[in-house]
Amino acid sequence: MVNDSPRYWASRLKNGLQTLLIMGSLALVLAVPGYLLAGSFGVMVSLGVVVIGAFAGSWVPARYILAEAGAGLLDRDQAPALYRLLDTLYRRAGISASPQLFYVPSPELNAFAVGSRHDGGIAVTEGLLRTLTLRELAGVLAHEVSHLRHGDTRVMSMAAAMTRLTLWLTTVLQISLLLMVPMILSGELRLPWSLLLVVAFAPSISTLLQLTLSRNREYSADLDAVALTGDPEGLASALAVLERYHGRWLATLFGRHPPRGLNWLRTHPPTEERIRRLREVDESPRTPVHDDHQEHAHRPATIIERPSSMGRRYWMRRRR
């Protein structure tokens, strides 16, 4: 069961409407170069390619991501505490599939969901396991479970496909413009200003919309994670740790206060805003998920044995 407070459902509705609006805007931006190239047929073909590519890309890239990251599958006896957490989170999220946890031997602090709610999993890095406490890790895992629950990997795959296809179509338009230069110079054709505007702005608009969608889904996953864990402070604490780590490169480039305009170019919302929203969430009536491990809640998770990488051949043979 999820949090049934009015604020929770109002926020879910707001985020859902924003997602629909952004996806519609991405489709509109894509339709313009498609129409200029081949009329209504170009629009239909473009959107059809996006749908087919998104459904294919929602599962094929996951295998390659795991292979390139050198991931290995953690068995239950290797990480019993984490699997107990995931069992609880999956049950609360209404996901019937068995949890799968992948281990990435990287010092980076990162976690990501792969696949869908039916056969997906969550990958965590060595750096994350060593840095976060079990309570903080519960919030991060709940965030990734929310991505699986709501099909965010497929939504973002479709948005990425729209952005890539928009870039490809505008590239074709650029080539067409170059071929028309002699005719324009000789006066046989007028300069197509509408075409120039599409070529100039469509890729940038599509990219910014994709980044906005990503930030929207992160806000939504934060909210849903709190509904699953009953512990907004756990995720807020984890985000603060991640911000201290990931914010170092910006501080190196721009000093202690990076330009605020960079927020438009981020895939994730500003951490301060995420934490503020989390701390405004009404306390959930459910028991915090970390209470089942209270004696270990403020220590890192125990991994009995680190798995070795399964290699590219394994991920090519099997989806998981």
Which structural domain range is residue 197 located in?
6-317
Q: Please classify residue 265 by burial: count the beta carbons closer than 10 Å to its beta carbon, then call 0-12 exposed, 13-18 middle and 19+ buried.
A: exposed
Cβ count within 10 A of residue 259: 10
**What is residue 154's predicted lDDT score, i.e. its pLDDT?**
82
pLDDT over threshold 80, residue 166 = yes
Q: Strand order in 121-125's β-sheet?
A: 72-74, 101-104, 121-125, 111-114
Q: Is residue 1 a part of any domain in this protein? A: no
Q: Is residue 226 a part of any domain in this protein? A: yes
What average pLDDT does this structure show over 19-34? 88
* b/e map 71-91, b = 16+ CB within 10 Å: bbbbeeebbebbbebbebbbe
Q: What is the pLDDT of residues 137-158, one digit of tens each?
A: 999 999 999 999 988 888 888 8
Catalytic residues: 144
Q: Are 219 and 15 in contact (CB under 8 A)?
A: yes
**What is residue 58's predicted lDDT score, i.e. its pLDDT?**
56
Show the tokens assigned to 214: 């990503």
Q: Are 289 and 142 in contact (CB under 8 A)?
A: yes
Q: Is residue 256 a part of any domain in this protein? A: yes
**What is residue 247's predicted lDDT score, i.e. its pLDDT?**
65
Angle between helices 232-246 and 193-229 (to 10 degrees): 130
Q: What is the pLDDT of residues 229-262, one digit of tens each?
A: 988 999 999 999 998 887 655 555 545 555 555 5
**What is residue 257's predicted lDDT score, i.e. its pLDDT?**
53
Q: Which residues pair with 138 in a beta bridge?
A: none
Per the structure, the count of domains in the chain is 1
The C-alpha atoms of residue 220 and residue 8 are separated, in whole angstroms, by: 10
The C-alpha atoms of residue 115 and residue 151 are separated, in whole angstroms, by: 8
In the chain, the largest separation of any two C-alpha atoms, in whole Å, equals 81
Q: Are 145 and 86 in contact (CB under 8 A)?
A: yes
Show the tokens assigned to 177: 């413009």
- Tell me the H-state helices in the chain: 6-57, 60-68, 80-93, 126-131, 134-149, 152-185, 193-229, 232-246, 248-254, 271-279, 311-317
Where does the pLDDT of residue 120 fall: very low under 50, low under 70, confident under 90, or very high at 90 and above?
confident
Where does the pLDDT of residue 264 fall: very low under 50, low under 70, confident under 90, or very high at 90 and above?
low
The residue type of 184 is I
What average pLDDT does this structure show over 196-207? 87
pLDDT over threshold 90, residue 119 = no
